[in-house]
Amino acid sequence: MAMARRSASRLLSSFRPFSLLLQPLNDAPSLAAAAAAASARRGMSSASALRARDEKEVARWRESMDRMRNIGISAHIDSGKTTLTERVLYYTGRIHEIHEVRGRDGVGAKMDSMDLEREKGITIQSAATYCTWNGYQVNIIDTPGHVDFTIEVERALRVLDGAILVLCSVGGVQSQSITVDRQMRRYEIPRVAFINKLDRMGADPWKVLNQARSKLRHHNAAVQVPIGLEEEFEGLVDLVELKAYKFEGGSGQNVVASDVPSNMQDLVMEKRRELIEVVSEVDDQLAEAFLHDEPIQANQLKAAIRRATVARKFIPVYMGSAFKNKGVQPLLDGVLDYLPCPMEVENYALDQKKSEEKVLLAGTTAEPLVALAFKLEEGRFGQLTYLRIYDGVIRKGDFIYNVNTGKKIKVPRLVRMHSNEMEDIQEAHAGQIVAVFGVDCASGDTFTDGSVKYTMTSMNVPEPVMSLAVSPISKDSGGQFSKALNRFQKEDPTFRVGLDPESGETIISGMGELHLDIYVERIRREYKVDAKVGKPRVNFRETITQRAEFDYLHKKQSGGQGQYGRVCGYIEPLPSGFDGKFEFDNMIIGQVIPSNFIPAIEKGFKEACNSGSLIGHPVENIRIVLTDGASHAVDSSELAFKLASIYAFRQCYAAARPVILEPVMMVELKVPTEFQGTVTGDMNKRKGIIVGNDQEGDDTVVVCHVPLNNMFGYSTALRSMTQGKGEFSMEYLEHNTVSQDVQMQLVNTYKASKGTD
């Protein structure tokens, strides 16, 4: 009997992972022992009793996974993401008071925990939280809307199972809405849409729904119809359940259900039929019932919408006004009803032991640990690393392995995040988003328990487009200044730090003016270092337009061992659409150059490409082919061949007709129609190419492609041209060739600065 009790206790200890979401089974060992003893008395083996117990535990664990959602809230700037998250936290009981994004009470929204975010009324860093709604656990990441902080959206979507795309009922589908939707497609995220701000003047949800179909290619339909619009917006009619909802109480916390208003019956039935038709196009079960003209029950329609949404074939559209506390609770119900639980999403890892073979992760606690570090933050207690757990269990005090660096690390502290607050936990399992302290790693590293060598696929990191020269005003604060730059570079993959070889200045690069301004301000506030900032500089690139041959002999004799290396071949532009910016091909037949020197030759060419001779910027889209060469038995070395490569590149670069590439931005302008002529005239002066022109009420929306170099100080110019009524958003599009006159001007400026140096 004692043996049975001990074996039961040992076996049950392996089920500790279930304790996090399920109620802790404090008396589990004694219960298991009692169950085993009773089984033995009935002539049933304790092993089979324990097997039954195992199955029961697995079933309970599966149920807990079904009751979990990992979602992100993303949208264009100022569409109401943070306001929506604030209401979600209030209705789920996570916070007990609502504060506004630009709150006069000096508190600000819960998810905007940085002082800078509260001052500017924008989200700068994505923030994680969790809440409970109708017995489901919902992990939420609120992301920034400004294009300069696009990496925050990118890495949040990389680890989430579903998302809410927020659209403004007045602004409609804007430039950043398109970018965010593209990111969701990249990571294959099922989503629901929420048309916000129905209380505003000019609100038109049906226009926005059609824009989502035409601009975002969404296969969507409304699952709600608003009762009134603008000041008369009172509530919503649910097209699935055919119920009307109004939101009463001081903060809209009381949801009152009633029958559909009689004056809306025709509209509601028309929109419900449209919903059924659209879902039938992508769901066979519903299509069969629809074609046979059978009455469609609410549970039938709900199941069909869930199947189509999880399969990413359909996007249900919700409506409301987060600011006026209307429509948030039904949206939360929609997240539970239609977005997938962690087990319904396929996640793949790359097995490093089998030359990066793709492995489908089971997403269970029985598998070895696989977790991805997707975001880093410098907290009060050291580095805070956000982890998404894909497989297995992580416990406080466990040893985990960083697959990317090979280091073994102990988990000193495990927490769940609620914006900038944290709750200590003992363990977490597959499907959860948690954070660990004191773990040194980089964004994108994968952690395992050491039994497998899996890495998760990396996230897409855009290239920086703008640079600033920065230096501390006081020489004594150099240490703090370096510490700040190192930390920011580790936290944000789009923030780069370099040194200008000519001037010796520290150069910071990022996604735009606001991005870099925020970091300069954070250096001042968080590290008490006043920094001197140079004029913003554009990240130009150089490339070649035709093939050019090289044949260079590097020969040096200065007593003792000399240097000897000869390289022959050609450089040529990479074909358009090629995935990569530099390619090196060794086409030498035989051993005229020993194979151990080839990596040094490639390294030399790569180094030479870091600085082109036109304006000293990196050279891209180039293919270097090595066809011949010569070596010396004594004098050849890696250094000799590396130097030969650098000089060979410089020798033939001018013959390849190099050109300068500049970053071109996609700019979306929204201005009152009366100022359209002035604004478009100014855009033409800035060498902008207008690619789109739409009318939205009294406003004109102009989309154009403009060189970044011509966009400095544009916000001030636009304000003065439109009496402060115009607005614009800008995001990186591509690097494109500059005109001949601009190239001459840039080259002359570069030569003049070299001359003065």
Q: For residue 558, how far is the Cα from the chain centroid?
A: 55
The first and second tokens of residue 300, run together, are: 């039938």
Q: Where are the alpha helices (DSSP H) in 42-172?
A: 46-66, 81-91, 115-120, 150-159
Instruction: Please report, for residues 468, 471, 475, 662, 708, the alpha-carbon distance to residue 506 in angstroms, rounded to integers and kept in the order given.
Output: 8, 6, 14, 22, 22
Write a three-state SS string for 658-684.
EEEEEEEEEEEEEEEHHHHHHHHHHHH
Q: Which DSSP state fits 465?
A: -
| Cα(73)–Cα(460) distance, integer angstroms | 19
β-bridge mates for residue 541, sequence order: 661
DSSP string, 378-447: EETTEEEEEEEEEESEEETT-EEEETTT--EEE--EEEEEETTEEEE-SEEETT-EEEEES----TT-EE
Cβ neighbours of residue 330 closer than 8 Å, sequence gap 6 or more: 224, 236, 238, 245, 255, 318, 320
How many Cβ atoms from other residues are within 10 Å of residue 98's Cβ?
21
| Cα(573)–Cα(581) distance, integer angstroms | 10
Q: Are strands 162-168 and 68-75 parallel, antiparallel or unpaired?
A: parallel
Residue 166 · residue 85 · CB < 8 Å: no
- Among 166, 149, 173, CA closest to 71: 166
Residue 448 · residue 401 · CB < 8 Å: yes
Query: What is the widest separation between alpha-carbon atoms in the chain?
Result: 102
| Cα(554)–Cα(563) distance, integer angstroms | 7
Q: Which DSSP state fits 216?
A: S
| Cα(195)–Cα(165) distance, integer angstroms | 9
Residue 392 · residue 367 · CB < 8 Å: yes
- DSSP, collapsed to helix, strand or coil, labels residue 610 as coil
Cβ neighbours of residue 756 closer than 8 Å, sequence gap 6 or more: none
Residues at the binding site are 75-82, 142-146, 196-199
Residue 148 · residue 514 · CB < 8 Å: yes
Q: Count how many Cα atoms sit within 13 Å of the Cα of residue 286 in the half-sphere of its side chain.
A: 23
Instruction: Please report, for residues 248, 554, 622, 741, the alpha-carbon distance to residue 610 in angstroms, rounded to integers and kept in the order given.
Output: 63, 21, 12, 24
Q: Are strands 531-533 and 466-472 parallel, antiparallel or unpaired?
A: antiparallel
Q: Which DSSP state fits 172?
A: B
How many Cβ atoms from other residues are within 10 Å of residue 689's Cβ?
12
Residues at the binding site for GTP are 75-82, 142-146, 196-199
Place of tokens 């000293």: 616
| Cα(36)–Cα(5) distance, integer angstroms | 7
